[in-house]
Amino acid sequence: MNKYLVNLTINDIPVSVPEGTTILDAAKNLDFRIPTLCHHEDLCVAGNCRVCVVEQIGGKALTAACATPVSEGMQIHTNSALVRTARKTIIELLLSEHNSDCTKCYKNGNCELQSLAHEYRVGDHVFIDLVGTRKRVIDNLSPSIIKDDSKCIRCQRCVRTCSELQGVSALAVANKGDHMKISTFFDRPLVEVVCTNCGQCVNRCPVGALVEKTYVEEVWDAINNPNVHVVVQTAPAVRVAIGEELGYDAGERLTGKMVTALKRLGFDSVLDTDFTADLTILEEGTELLTRLKRALVDKDTTVALPMTTSCSPGWIKFIEHTFPEFLPNVSTCKSPQQMFGALAKTYYAQKKGLKAQDICVVSIMPCTAKKYEANRPEMRSSGYKDVNYVLTTRELGMMIKQAGINFQNLEDSHYDSIMGESTGAAVIFGATGGVMEAALRTVYEVVTGREVPFTNLNIVPVRGMEGVKEAKVKIEGCLPEWSFLEGIEVSCAVAHSLVNARDVMQAVKDGRAHYHFIEVMACPGGCLGGGGQPIPTNNEIRNKRAAAIYEEDAGLPLRKSHENPEVKMIYEEFLGAPNSHKSHALLHTHYIPRKRY
Amino acid sequence: MSSIKIELHENQVKELVEVCRSFNNEAGELINVLHKAQGIFGYLPAEVQEIVARELKVSVAKVYGVVTFYSFFTMVPKGQHPISICMGTACYVRGAEKVLDEFKRKLKVPVGETTPDGKFSLNCLRCVGACGLAPVVMVGDKTYGRVSPDGVKEILAEYA
Ligand code: SF4
Ligand code: SF4
Ligand code: SF4
Ligand code: FES
C-alpha cells in the first residue's frame, strides 16, 4: 500500500510521516514524548483522558494527540504554556477524585498517574477533594486479582483489553456521570463472573486499580521457616522477561543469573517448570496418539477431536464458561506448573527423604491465572495443596530488589536436581506456537522414528504473532505399530489471545474448520505476554521476548522433550509409562462446566 | 440484590426470547430490547439481563452497563403503587423537593427503591406537562396536584 507522506511541524521541527499517523506517533518520530493515560498501543483509541492534548496553531481548541491523525501543514506544539496548563488541570482533576495514598499503594514507583503528577509538580489541591465522599470498595476475593475502585481513573483500558483482546468482556462501564465506574455484572466479585484471571487488564491498568494479589510476604515467611523445605520452579517465559524488572532492555536471556538470584533469596532448591513442560509433551503427545488411534482404528465415534492443549489456565477458565460442550476435547493433562507441584510433593519428596507436608512449592510465573489455578480444589493430588504460592515475574523482581541483590553482577548458575533438567522444546512453551512445535517434534519422531521434517527442527509456520496460525504435517514412513497414521496429514491450529481462541472454537463448532490438534494460549504472544509479565508489555517487547526464547532453544544441546534424561528417569523410576495409572492420578485432571454469563 | 434468586414465568421468558428474535437478535438493538423487556417484567433483574445477553450475544457486564446508564431502566420491582414525583422546573420551584423528602421520610426508602412490603416504590420524573397543578405527584395512574408536604400523609392513607 502506497501511503502519501504528510508534512507538518512539531515544536517548529519539520517532519514527514505517512498519512494516517497520529500526532502522538509523529512526535515520537522526533523523540518528543507526549504523556498519555487512556492510550495503549495494543488497544483501539479511546481519547477519554485528554492528558495528551497538544496545541495546533490556528486550531480552536486543544487536540488529543492520540486520537488525531496528522494533516498537511499542521503546526503542533507539544509543550506550550497553554498545553502545560491544560495538562496540569487534567491531572489535578484526576487527583481530586483519586485516593492518592502512594506510599501504601502496590503500584508505588510503577504508576503512570504518579509519574505524571511528579512530572508536572502537582502541588496542593486546587479542586475540592472528592475522595472522602466515596465509599471505598475493594474486591480482593479473587486469588489472582485485586480491584480497588478508589484508584481507578476510568481510562477504560481494562474494559477495552477484556473485550478487544480477550473477547471476555467481564468488565464494562456502569452508571453515569459522577457515579460512573468500571464494573462486572451487578458489580459481583471477579471470582464470581466470567473473568479468566488472565491479568491482561492488570498489565494495562496505568494505576493501582487492578493489581495482582501478591504472596511475597507468605513466600518470605516460608523461606525464613527452618522447618519448611522451599522449592521454587520457574516458568519458561520468566527467564526472558525478568531483566525488564531489573534494569535490562527487553529480550535479555538471564536464565543463569536468575537461578543464582533465587538461590541467594534462600530457596532450598531451585528447579524448573521446563522439566514438567517436557513431561507434558510426553503425556499430551501420548494422549493425542491414543485419541487418534481410537478414532481411526477402533472407529470409536465418541472420541473427542480436535484435542486442545490445557497448559494455559486462562484458556481453561474461558472454555469452561464459553464452550463447556467442548470440555471433553481439552487434554486432561494438568499444566506444567501443577504437574510440577504434584511431583514435588510425591516423587521429589520420596527421593529427597522429605515429607510432603514439610515442602512448600513456590512458582514464578508470567501469569496471574496460575494463582487461581493453584487454588483449584482439583489441584491437590499429593494430598496437600500441590503448589503453595504463585508469584508473577513482577513479584520476583520485587523480591530480588527487597533482598538488595545486585542482579547485574551475578554469576550464572545451574538449576538444582532433580526436576531441574530441560530441553529447548520446553523453553519454547513460553511463546505462542511453542507447545505445538514441541509436541510435533516428539510425536513425529515417536511415530516415524525420524526427526520432524523441518530445517533444524524449527517449525516456522507455528511461530510468530499472527492471531491464528495453521500447519499441516504429513506423516510418512510410519513405524509398524503406528501404520494406521500412514499418509495422514495432521492438521493443527494455534491461537493466542482469547478473542482468537473464540474464533477458532466457533469455527470448529460450526463445522467450518477441521483440525486434529489446537494449541491455545490465553495471552497475546503466549506466556511471554502474560498478565504477570513486566509492565509495560507491547508488541515490540513481545517480539523481543519471543526472539530470546527461540535463541535459548537453538542454543541448547537437547531440543526434544523425549530426550530429557530426567524425564526418562522419572518414567523408569516412578511413573512407569506416559498415561499410566500413576500418571493419571498425579498429572491429569478434569474440568468443570461453568455458567456462561 | 443479586443474591436473591428470582423465578421468571416461563411464558414471560418465551415472550422475551420472541422480542429478541423480532429485533433479529442484533446487539445494536440492546436498548430497544431492554425497553420491551422492562415492559414485560416491570423491571430488569439479573435473570432478565442474562437472557438478553445470551440472545443478543453480548456480555452480561455490557448489558448491566447499559441498564445502569439510562435512568429509565430499573433493576428493582416497582411497588404495588408506584409513586412518581415531578421534578420539572415548575414543580421544583413550588416545593417538589420538600414533598419528595416527606415521602422519603414516611416510606423510609430512597429514590429508586421499593418499600420492603412491596407496596410503594418511589421515583422522580421529568416534567409531566401538568405545570398548572405544580407540584404534581402521581400514584399509579392517578394524578395529585398542588401537593404540599402535609398532604403526603393523606395520599398515602388512601392506599393503606
Ligand atoms: S495508583 Fe498511583 S497515584 Fe494512585 S496511590 Fe497508587 S501509586 Fe499513587
Ligand atoms: S481499572 Fe485501571 S485500566 Fe480500568 S479504567 Fe480504572 S484505571 Fe483504567
Ligand atoms: S483478568 Fe482477563 S478476563 Fe479477567 S477482567 Fe481482566 S482481562 Fe478480563
Ligand atoms: S491518551 Fe489521548 S486522550 Fe487519553
Cα–ligand 4 centroid distance for A54 (angstroms): 11
Mean pLDDT score, A536-541: 97
Who contacts A199 (Cβ-Cβ below 8 Å, separation ≥6)?
Answer: A144, A145, A212, A314, A367, A368, A369, A392, A530, A531, A532
Q: Are A321 and A194 in contact (CB under 8 A)?
A: yes
For the annotated catalytic residues of A, the residue numbers are 284, 287, 311, 331, 370, 373, 378, 527
Same domain membership, residue B50 and residue B97 = no
Task: Mark yes or no for CB contact B61/A596 under 8 Å.
Answer: no
Q: What are phi and psi of A94, to 5 degrees?
A: -60, -45
Indicate which ligand has the atom closest to the C-alpha of A98.
1
**Same domain, yes or no, for B100 and B53?**
no
Q: Among partner residues A170, A175, A596, which is closest to B61 by beta-carbon distance?
A: A170
Say whether pLDDT at B126 is over 50: yes
| Ligand 4 environment, Cβ below 6 A | A 36-39, 47-52, 64, 66-67
What is the average per-residue pLDDT within B53-77? 93
B95 CA to chain A: closest CA distance, Å?
26
Q: What is the arithmetic mean of pLDDT over B63-72?
A: 93
% of chain A exceeding 70 in pLDDT: 99
Question: Residue B120 and residue B84: Cα distance in Å, rounded?
Answer: 10
Pairing of strands A269-272, A229-234: parallel
CA angle at A473 for the pair A472 and A477, rounded to the nearest 5°: 155
Omega within 30 of 0 (cis) for the link into B110: no
Question: Given this structure, which CATH class describes domain A94-212?
Answer: alpha beta
Residues B87 and B138 reside in one and the same domain: yes
Residue A91: closest CA among A61, A119, A130, A55: A119
pTM of the model: 0.92
**Could you tell me if residue B76 is inside a domain?**
no
Dist CA A355 CA A43 (whole Å)? 49
Cell of A235: 516458568
Chain A closest CA to B148's CA: distance in Å? 31
Any A CB within 8 A of B69 CB: yes
What ligand is nearest to the CA atom of residue A86?
4
- Separation of alpha carbons A584 and B9, rounded Å: 46
Condensed to tens digits (0 to 9), the pLDDT of residues A102-126 reads 999 999 999 999 999 999 988 776 6
H helices of A403-461, where? 424-427, 434-448
Model confidence band, residue B71 (pLDDT cutoffs 50, 70, 90): confident
Instruction: Name the residue of A182, A195, A200, A201 to mutate for ligand 2: max ligand atoms within 8 A of Cβ.
Output: A182
C-alpha cell at A230: 522451599
* Interval between CA A62 and ligand 4 midpoint (Å): 12
Site residues for ligand 1, CB cut-off 6 Å: A 98, 100-102, 105, 107-108, 111, 113-114, 151, 207-208
- Is there a contact between A52 and A24 (Cβ–Cβ < 8 Å)? yes
Which of B21, B46, B69 is a domain's end point? B69
Based on the domain organization, do B26 and B92 belong to the same domain?
A: no
Structural element, H or E, at residue B37: helix B30-41
**Diameter over CA atoms, chain B:** 51
C-alpha–C-alpha distance, residues A531 and A357, integer Å: 30
pLDDT digits (tens, 9 = 90+) for A298-332: 999 999 999 999 999 999 999 999 999 999 999 99
Beta carbons of B65 and A172 less than 8 Å apart: yes
Using CA atoms, how far apart are residues A344 and A340, in angstroms rounded to an integer?
6
Nearest CA to ligand 4 atom 1: A36
Chain A / chain B CB contacts < 8 angstroms: 52
The answer to whether residue B87 sits within a structural domain is: yes
Count Cβ atoms below 10 Å from residue A434 Cβ, excluding itself. Answer: 32
Helix (H, G, I), strand (E, B) or coil at A266: coil
Ligand 2: centre distance to CA B144 (Å):
46
A89 CB near a chain B CB, below 8 Å?
A: no
What one-letter code names the amino acid at A558? L
Is the same domain home to B100 and B137? yes
Contact A172 B64 (CB under 8 A): yes
Are the Cβ atoms of A172 and B58 closer than 8 angstroms? no
pLDDT of residue B1: 42
What does CATH list as the number for A216-275+337-409? 3.40.50.1780
Phi-psi region of A469 (alpha: psi -120 to 50; beta: other; left: phi over 0): beta
Question: Which alpha helices (H) appear in A250-312, and where do they start and end?
Answer: 255-265, 273-296
Place of cell 488411534: A293
- The bound ligand whose nearest atom lies closest to the alpha carbon of A195 is 3
Q: What's chain B's length in residues?
A: 160
To the nearest 10°, the Cα dihedral for A107, A108, A109, A110? Answer: 20
Contacts of B53 in chain A (CB under 8 A): 597
In CATH, what is the architecture of A5-79? Roll (3.10)
Q: Which long-range contacts (CB under 8 A, 24 or more apart) does B47-52 make?
A: B47/B5, B47/B6, B47/B8, B48/B8, B48/B16, B49/A185, B50/A597, B51/B8, B51/B13, B51/B16, B51/B17, B51/B20, B52/B16, B52/B20
- The one-letter code for the residue type at A360 is C
**Closest chain A C-alpha to B72 CA, distance in angstroms:** 12
Q: Distance between CA atoms of A66 and A63, rounded to whole angstroms?
A: 9
Whether B2 maps to a domain, the answer reads: no
Q: What is the pLDDT of residue A107?
A: 97
pLDDT digits (tens, 9 = 90+) for A360-409: 999 999 999 999 999 999 999 999 999 999 999 999 999 999 999 999 99
CA of A187 to the centre of ligand 1 (A): 23
Please identify which residue in the block is written with the cell numbers 504463585.
A390
Decide if B47 is inside a domain.
yes
Domain ranges of chain A: 5-79, 94-212, 216-275+337-409
Residues B33 and B86 placed together within one structural domain of the fold: no
Give yes or no for residue A570 having a pLDDT over 90: yes
Whether the bond into A18 is cis, omega within 30 of 0: no
**Tally of structural domains, chain B:** 2
* Per-residue model confidence (pLDDT) at position B3: 44
Distance CA B101, CA B149 (A): 8
d(CA A45, CA A160): 9
Q: How far is the CA of A205 from the centre of ligand 2 (A)?
A: 5
Which positions in chain A touch B46 (Cβ < 8 Å)? 185-186
Partners of residue B44 in chain A, C-beta under 8 Å: none
Domain range spanning residue B111?
Answer: 81-157
Distance CA A292, CA A303 (A): 8
Is A407:A400 a contact under the CB 8 Å cutoff? yes
Of all residues in chain B, the one with the smallest CA distance to A169 is B59
Q: What is the ipTM of this complex?
A: 0.89
- B53 assigned to some structural domain: yes
Q: What is the mean pLDDT of residues A429-438?
A: 98
Higher pLDDT: A134 or A73? It is A73
Exposed/middle/buried for residue A155 (C-beta within 10 Å: 0-12, 13-18, 19+): buried
State how far the Cα of B30 lies from the Cα of B37, in Å rounded to an integer. Answer: 10
The backbone torsions φ and ψ at residue B36, rounded to the nearest 5 degrees and listed phi first, read -65, -40
Residues B20 and B42 in one domain: yes
Residues A429 and A277 sit within 8 Å (Cβ to Cβ): yes
The angle formed by the CA atoms of residues A459, A464 and A467, to the nearest 5 degrees, is: 120
- Cα within 13 Å of Cα(B91), Cβ side: 30
Name the band, by pLDDT with cuts 50, 70 and 90, for residue B19: very high
Task: Give which of B5, B44, B64, B73 to mutate to test A binding, by max A Cβ within 10 Å.
Answer: B64
Say yes or no to pLDDT of A1 above 80: no
What separation in Å is there between the alpha carbon of A201 and the centre of ligand 2? 8
User: Any CB–CB contact under 8 A between A4 and chain B?
Assistant: no
**In this predicted structure, what is the pLDDT of residue A21?**
96
pLDDT for res A76: 98
Average pLDDT of chain A, as a whole number: 96
CATH number of the domain that residue B98 is part of = 3.40.30.10
- Read off the pLDDT of residues A444-474 as tens digits, 9 standing for 90 and up: 999 999 999 999 999 999 999 999 999 999 9
